[in-house]
Amino acid sequence: METPQAAHRIAVDCMGGDMGPSEAVAAVAIALKEGLVGPQDHLVLVGNEEILRLLAREHRIRLSANVSFRHAPAIIAPDDTPMTAMKGKKDASMLVAVEMLKAGEVDAVVSTGNTKVLVGAGTIRLRAMEGAERPALAAIMPRREGHFVMLDVGANPEATPEHLVHNAVLGRIYAQSALGIADPRVGLLTVGTEEGKGGDRINRTHALLKAMGERIRYVGPVEGFDVFGNVCDVVVTDGFTGNIIIKTLEGMVYMVRDLVGPKVRYNPVYLAGGIAMFPLLRELKGHLKPERYGGAPLLGLNGLVMKAHGSSNRHGIASAIRLGREALEAGAGRRMREELAAANAVIAAHPAA
Amino acid sequence: METPQAAHRIAVDCMGGDMGPSEAVAAVAIALKEGLVGPQDHLVLVGNEEILRLLAREHRIRLSANVSFRHAPAIIAPDDTPMTAMKGKKDASMLVAVEMLKAGEVDAVVSTGNTKVLVGAGTIRLRAMEGAERPALAAIMPRREGHFVMLDVGANPEATPEHLVHNAVLGRIYAQSALGIADPRVGLLTVGTEEGKGGDRINRTHALLKAMGERIRYVGPVEGFDVFGNVCDVVVTDGFTGNIIIKTLEGMVYMVRDLVGPKVRYNPVYLAGGIAMFPLLRELKGHLKPERYGGAPLLGLNGLVMKAHGSSNRHGIASAIRLGREALEAGAGRRMREELAAANAVIAAHPAA
């Protein structure tokens, strides 16, 4: 006997990515073909409907009850701000998708578009979920063994201790659905693991997380080099630090690629060496799985918003659809509200000194 | 006609490094032999004098007017804190070296020892220089072309806008002596380059740096991926963010090494490929120059304290001696006091709203 699955409705903003709508539509085709969404689920392709219908035909998407279109002609540009976009581009695919989420027409939105506008519009239109005050962007990153969740990587640069505790709660529940870890270990990112280091904000956050006891598997403060070890599964930080970390890491990866790449290409000995090592690089890439975890949810809003990297290809976007669907399937939103309420009770019982 | 050089006196804490006193003494031999210090300069080897004299003989250090010894039998352990060390280990080589600096017996200290204790003891015993409030640890990091200075990487995790402006002034003068850049470009690390992003602290710092006009070549806010480009020569941040950045970057480098290294060693095809590419790796290492910039000064104190990485070999420690000597030669301390006074005048003229 099979339990009937709940139907999850996901709007895919198809116009926002650097690679154009074709990759987004291809991602929908992958999601349907590979069963990343269930047979009861429904995907709405949001964007220029004429173009999207053409692309859907090209990618052999069967126009069934699983797929529909929503016309939204405008496109958010890289230099748009939340304010310029929400004032002048109400008919942009990203904003139409967010409005569908607000209206309850869908349960989640996936977008590759401008992060600032997505965070701003998501926060303003959807508002924080009950018990939270600010959303947090949660990235999945590789470590020696497996992956970990880091949040916030850019939604709320001025996080209070209470916000950081909320991030811990949200990140823990997300790690359960995204990484399949039953009881994820939570660490607080700071500059030294002795108590009393890192300043008042970290100390108060540390005290509150400890006070949560069994409700959260808090392993204590962690340092920058701990995150790639097997110390914790959820790294809690503020959106200022987290954003700078992921951009600096990305910058270093690109720097090494730029320094090494041309030399390998133009030197036959290096090229031969590189070709010999290709399976290793592929294995390394398989280990790091950049495309398996191509989406970062904006957690703590009334409705699930998944941000995929602007440069995502079809696999990255498909992975964001999958991660969003898994969070919906796990009832993450309801569980986050419950756990935020419990955390807020602990916070209220431990007022700041 | 030669101008007589000023004599610079540098105390080398020989007992603190992971690799033991032999590397520190070898570093002194290199500094003398390769002319990293001038003929008028003087190096004091601080530590267990009996051992140091033996090692000096082994490394063929000529016992001239350029070299002397200071006996200090105790050693700071990795788990010492500033308090345990300053209470119980007054005769530790690191603390004796700091006291020599305080007493005016030397002009700079080089140490590979426990960073926390060095920052703590340096701050408490030497005190902030006139015009500064807190010291900042300044690291030199590689980018696509050349290197840049980032500060603070861990001395002051709770920096105010005023501290960040001081960091800009200190980092600029250090970049002049360490990187040989006449008018270094200064950037403020944040999460978005539009004005108004990054919170009140960043906004006020940005306004103050702009108000300094010609005194500092401020290029504006920079993001995490900008630092490895050719955008600015001095990256200003707080000791919380900066410390987490360098530790995360270091952690990622070690992770990739751990993932790739064993596979290359135990697979003959990969090993052959690796050997073919060895000159490239050497060239890359030559470009990144990890040992050319092996020291990070603790800037803004009464006296120059150079921290070398705990795992530094002789070349890393020798580089810290050289960087310290270059800063002394450039009159960095006097110039920092002058520029801090000018910066504080700008701060006073622009009170917080």
pLDDT given at position A310: 78
**SS percent in chain A: helix, strand, coil, step 5:** 50, 15, 35
**CA of A229, closest CA in chain B: separation in Å?**
8
Q: Which two tokens stand for residue B279?
A: 């000159």
Residue A27: is its pLDDT beyond 80?
A: yes
Neighboring chain A residues of B116 at a CB cutoff of 8 Å: 192
pLDDT given at position A14: 94
**Do A302 and A139 contact (CB within 8 A), yes or no?**
no
Three-state SS for A75-86 is: CCCCCCCHHHHH
Environment class of A286 (CB within 10 Å of its CB; exposed 0-12, middle 13-18, buried 19+): exposed
Q: Are strands B234-236 and B185-189 parallel, antiparallel or unpaired?
A: parallel
Q: Specify the range with the lowest mean pLDDT, choosing from A63-72, A261-270, A326-335, B121-130.
A: A261-270
The CATH code belonging to domain A136-290 is 3.40.718.10
The helix/strand/coil state of B159 is coil
Residue A79: is its pLDDT beyond 70?
A: yes
Q: Which two tokens stand for residue B105?
A: 């017996």
- What architecture does CATH give domain B137-290? 3-Layer(aba) Sandwich (3.40)
Pairwise CA distance, residues B162 & B321, whole Å: 30
Helix (H) and strand (E) counts for chain A? Answer: 12, 11
As for the ipTM of the complex, it is 0.86
Summarised one tens digit per residue, pLDDT across range A328-351 is 999 999 999 999 999 999 999 999
From-to residues of CATH 3.40.718.10 in chain A: 1-132+300-330, 136-290
**Do B160 and B352 contact (CB within 8 A), yes or no?**
no
Neighboring chain A residues of B275 at a CB cutoff of 8 Å: 273
pLDDT given at position A253: 83
From-to residues of CATH 3.40.718.10 in chain B: 1-132+300-330, 137-290
Q: Model confidence at A3, in pLDDT bands (50, 70, 90)?
A: very low
Residue A7: is its pLDDT beyond 80?
A: yes
Residue A243: is its pLDDT beyond 60?
A: yes
Summarised one tens digit per residue, pLDDT across range A207-234 is 999 999 999 999 999 999 899 999 999 9
Q: What is the mean pLDDT of residues A134-162?
A: 93
Chosen for mutation from A119, A195, A244 (greatest number of chain B CBs closer than 10 Å) is A244
Please give the torsion angle defined by the CA atoms of residues A214, A220, A225 and A227, in that order, rounded to the nearest 10 degrees: 20
pLDDT given at position B3: 47
* φ, ψ dihedrals at B241, nearest 5°: -60, -45
Neighbour tally for B229: CB within 10 Å: 16
- If one compares A139 and A198, the residue with the highest pLDDT of the two is A139
- If one compares A193 and B47, the residue with the highest pLDDT of the two is B47
Pairwise CA distance, residues B30 & B61, whole Å: 9
- If one compares A215 and A254, the residue with the highest pLDDT of the two is A215
Pairwise CA distance, residues A286 & A232, whole Å: 22
Environment class of B193 (CB within 10 Å of its CB; exposed 0-12, middle 13-18, buried 19+): middle
The helix/strand/coil state of B103 is coil
CA B304 to chain centre: 10
**Do B51 and B21 contact (CB within 8 A), yes or no?**
yes
Summarised one tens digit per residue, pLDDT across range B104-137 is 999 999 999 998 999 999 999 999 999 999 999 9
**Do A327 and A138 contact (CB within 8 A), yes or no?**
no
Q: Which two tokens stand for residue A335?
A: 């569980």
CATH 3.20.20.20 describes domain A1-132+300-330? no
Tell me the residue length of chain B: 353
pTM, entire model: 0.90
Summarised one tens digit per residue, pLDDT across range B316-332 is 999 999 999 999 999 99
Please tell me what DSSP assigns to residue B290: T
Nearest Cα residue in chain B from A159: B199
Cβ within 8 Å, pair B225-A198: no
The helix/strand/coil state of A257 is helix
Q: Which of A199, A243, A259 sits opposite B158 (nearest CB)?
A: A199
Sign of CA dihedral B106, B112, B116, B119: positive
Neighboring chain A residues of B246 at a CB cutoff of 8 Å: 224
**Do B21 and B55 contact (CB within 8 A), yes or no?**
yes
Summarised one tens digit per residue, pLDDT across range A299-308 is 999 999 999 9
Residue A51: is its pLDDT beyond 50?
A: yes
Q: Which two tokens stand for residue B53?
A: 């004299």
Q: Which of A194, A245, A272 sits opposite B276 (nearest CB)?
A: A272
Neighboring chain A residues of B189 at a CB cutoff of 8 Å: 244
What residues in chain B have per-residue pLDDT under 50? 1-4
Of B74, B69, B70, nearest to B57 (Cα)? Answer: B69
Pairwise CA distance, residues B193 & B210, whole Å: 14
Q: Model confidence at A186, in pLDDT bands (50, 70, 90)?
A: very high
Q: Are strands A185-189 and A217-222 parallel, antiparallel or unpaired?
A: parallel
pLDDT given at position B352: 84
pLDDT given at position A145: 85
Q: Which two tokens stand for residue B179?
A: 């990187």
Q: Model confidence at A130, in pLDDT bands (50, 70, 90)?
A: very high
Residue A277: is its pLDDT beyond 80?
A: no
Q: What is the mean pLDDT of residues A115-121?
A: 92
Nearest Cα residue in chain A from B250: A225
pLDDT given at position B195: 58
Nearest Cα residue in chain A from B261: A280
**CA of B304, closest CA in chain A: separation in Å?**
23
Environment class of A234 (CB within 10 Å of its CB; exposed 0-12, middle 13-18, buried 19+): buried
Cβ within 8 Å, pair A273-B269: no
Residue A290: is its pLDDT beyond 80?
A: no
Chosen for mutation from A145, A160, A240 (greatest number of chain B CBs closer than 10 Å) is A240
Integer angstrom CA distances of residue B310 from B13, B15, B116? 12, 11, 12
